[in-house]
Chains A and B, each alone.
Chain A
């Protein structure tokens, strides 16, 4: 167990130090996120759309696309001068590489969420309806879902000819089931469920915050475990 932790720590520190020195990913993520939020704010103003619902939608769109930037870089950097082969030749379990890369991506996306959440709240005049702890929990669970799948696919697309575009196709397709409960949970957090849907249909029956959060936890457990187990097959020659 301590071996695994040491391996994960070594790769995690390497990637974080590289990012701190190069500053390639985080600034690009934040600028892209701000641009998406700004565009959607303008669109909602022009179209006269409900601000709170649009704010939640803008947040998820920004998060998804910005996280793709982080995920794309996480294995692309290892391709320079065949660093990936060095990493695979090291006496390190493939699962440890996955966990370390996952943690790096989660850290990047968490920093992004920390910066973007207040910006979205201010831009769309959102009001927090529940405790800040619940909001942090939901954001962290969504972060784990996005990065859990994205990290595996980032390794997958490295062998393909169309890396970046393929990553977005694969990740967005698989992540759709997370986006529905995550959006729903955030709508409850900001009390932004459209009035015409409150107390109707499935929302009245199963649409509680608890359901959405349990679903996010289930998705995280299933996909992170499956990705961790299958990662070795992706990177081995």
Chain B
């Protein structure tokens, strides 16, 4: 099933690239095609953070380690999407605004999201005891989730050059975006599932060894 998800995500991502390149619009330069990967990555990075929050609350409420594994798996997948988000954002920014990074609200929010994922994973790796790690990371996941909307609001104090909304006129563009979105979602699900299973196996192995 996981393999199927990975294959499907690959097909959707490739078809997204194919649709975006087959569109010979007169106004869109090639670099704008980055949007078909950039926007789905940002949505997935935020969704992964929601799963980290759900995992954290679930663990604190039930004390079941499976919630902690879910949160950890989502954080790792989220870090990948946050990295893609920032990397594609930097490339776009350099071409569109002639700067690799500028303090615009959305760019600050994305950067902070990346730092929050990194901080979460550093915290996880620095606590040896399993139960304590799960408890502490659940608390940090909740606090970190509260930070994301506040970063966005506070960054509003700065001038924004980021385009707030976008729309597609051409069916090829719409298809490319939809394929990119579905492909990224499937990839995120497959990655979270894969890591979750790895954590479960590690836990079983540890119990077996003890």
Contacts and interface: CB of A to CB of B under 8 A. Distances in A.
A215 B154 CA distance: 7
Interface string B93-121: 00000000000000010001001101100
* Chain B at the A interface: SS class: helix
A156 B140 contact: yes
Given A180-B155, A181-B154, A161 B139 contact: no
Interface in A91-107: none
Contact of A161 (B128, B147, B153, B155): B128
A159 B146 CA distance: 23
A203 B159 contact: yes
B2 interface: no
Contacts of A173: 112, 115-116, 119, 144, 147
Interface string B129-149: 100100110111011101100
Given A180-B154, A202-B156, A211-B157, A160 B127 contact: yes
Interface string B34-67: 0000000000000000000000000010000000
A137 interface: no
A234 B126 contact: no
Interface string B144-174: 1011001101111111100000000000000
Given A159-B127, A215-B154, A169 B122 contact: yes
A207 B128 CA distance: 45
B32 interface: no
Interface size, B (range): 20 to 34
Interface size, A (range): 35 or more
Interface stretch (A12-20, A42-50, A112-120, A225-233): A225-233
Contacts of A152: 139, 143
A168 B127 CA distance: 16
Given A160-B127, A161-B128, A223-B143, A178 B154 contact: yes
Nearest to B109: A177
Given A156-B136, A161-B128, A202 B147 contact: no
Contacts of B87: none
Contact of B139 (A169, A180, A230): A230
Contact of A202 (B115, B119, B158): B158
A124 interface: no
A162 B122 CA distance: 10
A202 B157 contact: yes
Contacts of B135: 233-234, 236
B128 to A, nearest CB: 7
A180 B118 CA distance: 21
Interface in A201-237: 201-203, 206-207, 211-212, 215, 218-219, 222-223, 226-227, 230, 233-234, 236
A184 interface: yes
A233 B139 contact: yes
A200 interface: yes
Contacts of A180: 154-155, 157-158
A76 to B, nearest CB: 15
B123 A201 contact: no
A207 B136 CA distance: 37
B167 to A, nearest CB: 24
B150 A212 contact: no
A201 B128 contact: no
B154 to A, nearest CB: 4
A176 B153 CA distance: 12
Given A201-B160, A233-B135, A234-B139, 8 more contacts: A160-B127, A173-B144, A177-B155, A184-B157, A207-B157, A215-B154, A226-B142, A230-B142
16 contacts: A156-B136, A156-B139, A161-B128, A173-B144, A173-B147, A174-B147, A176-B154, A180-B155, A200-B159, A201-B159, A202-B158, A203-B157, A212-B157, A226-B143, A230-B142, A234-B139
